[in-house]
Structure 1
Amino acid sequence: MAPACLLGVCSLLCAWSVVTGHPCSLDHQGWANCNGKSLLHAPSSLPRNITGLDLSFNSLVVPRHGTLLVHFASLHSLNLSSNALLALSPAVFSNLGALRLLDLSSCSIAYLHTDTFKGLGNLHTLLLRNNSLQELEVPFFLPLKALFHLDLQHNALVSVDPWSLQLMEAVPQVRLEGNPWVCDCTAHPLQQWLQRRRAVQVTCASPPGLRGREVAALDSQDLGCWMKQRFPRGASTAQQITVTHSNTTTPPTTKAGRSWPYLVGFLVAAISISILIALAAKCKLFHKNFASYRHRPLPETSSIGGSPMEDSSDWDRGSSGQGASKNHPMPGAADLQAEDDDGFIEDNYIQPSEHLPEEEEREVHLSI
Structure 2
Amino acid sequence: MAPACLLGVCSLLCAWSVVTGHPCSLDHQGWADCNGKSLLHAPSSLPSNITGLDLSFNSLVMPHHGTLLMNFPSLRSLNLSSNALLALRSAVFSNLRALRLLDLSSCSIAYLHTDAFKGLGNLHTLLLRNNSLQELEVAFFLPLKALFHLDLQHNTLVSLDTRSLQLMEAVPQVRLEGNPWVCDCTAQPLQQWLQRRQAVQVTCASPLGLRGWEVAALDSQDLGCQMKQRFPRGLSTTQQITVTHSNTTTPPSGKGGRSWPYLVGFLVTAIGISILIALAAKCKLFHKNFASYRHRPLPETSSIRGSPMEDGSSWDRGASESHPMPGAADLQAEDDDGFIEDNYIQPSEQLPEEEEQESHISI
Tell me the TM-score normalised to structure 1 length. Answer: 0.60
Q: Give, in whole Å, the separation in 2 of the partners of 1:109 and 1:243.
A: 47
Q: 1:104 to 1:223 in 2, by over 3 A?
A: same
Does structure 1 retain, via aligned residues, the 8 Å contact 2:17–2:25?
no
Partner of 1:136: 136
Q: 1:47 to 1:189 in 2, by over 3 A?
A: same
Partner of 1:179: 179
Q: 1:138 to 1:243 in 2, by over 3 A?
A: farther
Displacement of 1:21 after TM fit?
Answer: 2.5
- Contiguous gaps of at least 5 residues in structure 2: 1-14, 256-363
SS in structure 2 at match of 1:174: strand
Q: 1:169 to 1:251 in 2, by over 3 A?
A: closer
Q: Do structure 1's residue 150 and structure 2's residue 150 form an aligned pair?
A: yes
Q: How far does the alpha carbon of each residue in 1:167-217 deviate from its partner, in whole angstroms, 9 at most, with x for none?
A: 000000000000000000110100000000000100000000000010011
Displacement of 1:225 after TM fit?
Answer: 1.1
Does structure 2 retain, via aligned residues, the 8 Å contact 1:157–1:179?
yes
Q: Give, in whole Å, the separation in 1 of the partners of 2:103 and 2:72.
A: 16
Q: 1:199 to 1:239 in 2, by over 3 A?
A: closer
Aligned pairs for 1:183-198 within 5 A: 183-198=183-198
Does structure 2 retain, via aligned residues, the 8 Å contact 1:241–1:249?
no
Q: Do structure 1's residue 248 and structure 2's residue 243 form an aligned pair?
A: no
SS in structure 1 at match of 2:209: helix
Partner of 2:59: 59
Q: How far does the alpha carbon of each residue in 1:116-143 deviate from its partner, in whole angstroms, 9 at most, with x for none?
A: 0000000000000000000001101000
Q: Give, in whole Å, the separation in 1 of the partners of 2:247 and 2:152.
A: 34
Does structure 1 retain, via aligned residues, the 8 Å contact 2:135–2:159?
yes
In the alignment, residue 171 of structure 2 is paired with which amino acid? V
SS in structure 1 at match of 2:135: coil
Displacement of 1:227 after TM fit?
Answer: 0.6
Aligned pairs for 1:262-277 within 5 A: none
Q: Give, in whole Å, the separation in 2 of the partners of 1:217 and 1:92.
A: 39
Q: Give, in whole Å, the separation in 2 of the partners of 1:230 and 1:222.
A: 15
Aligned pairs for 1:11-90 within 5 A: 19-90=19-90
- Contiguous gaps of at least 5 residues in structure 1: 1-14, 255-368
In the alignment, residue 159 of structure 2 is paired with which amino acid? S
Aligned length: 235
Q: 1:243 to 1:134 in 2, by over 3 A?
A: farther
Displacement of 1:19 after TM fit?
Answer: 1.3
Tell me the TM-score normalised to structure 2 length. Answer: 0.61
Q: 1:105 to 1:237 in 2, by over 3 A?
A: same
In the alignment, residue 73 of structure 1 is paired with which amino acid? P
In the alignment, residue 194 of structure 1 is paired with which amino acid? L
Aligned pairs for 1:223-234 within 5 A: 223-229=223-229
Displacement of 1:228 after TM fit?
Answer: 1.6
In the alignment, residue 211 of structure 2 is paired with which amino acid? R
SS in structure 2 at match of 1:66: coil
Q: Give, in whole Å, the separation in 2 of the partners of 1:230 and 1:199.
A: 20
Q: 1:51 to 1:242 in 2, by over 3 A?
A: same
| Structure with a larger share of its residues in helix | 2
Partner of 2:354: none
Displacement of 1:249 after TM fit?
Answer: 2.7
In the alignment, residue 203 of structure 2 is paired with which amino acid? T
Q: Do structure 1's residue 204 and structure 2's residue 171 form an aligned pair?
A: no
Partner of 1:107: 107
SS in structure 2 at match of 1:250: coil
Q: 1:204 to 1:95 in 2, by over 3 A?
A: same
SS in structure 1 at match of 2:56: coil
- Structure 1 segments (4+ residues) deviating >2 Å: 15-18, 235-244, 247-254
In the alignment, residue 247 of structure 2 is paired with which amino acid? T
Q: Do structure 1's residue 216 and structure 2's residue 220 form an aligned pair?
A: no
Q: 1:166 to 1:36 in 2, by over 3 A?
A: same
Does structure 2 retain, via aligned residues, the 8 Å contact 1:101–1:125?
yes
Structure (1 or 2) with the larger CA radius of gyration: 1
Q: How far does the alpha carbon of each residue in 1:229-273 deviate from its partner, in whole angstroms, 9 at most, with x for none?
A: 599xxx9899668959xx93336499xxxxxxxxxxxxxxxxxxx
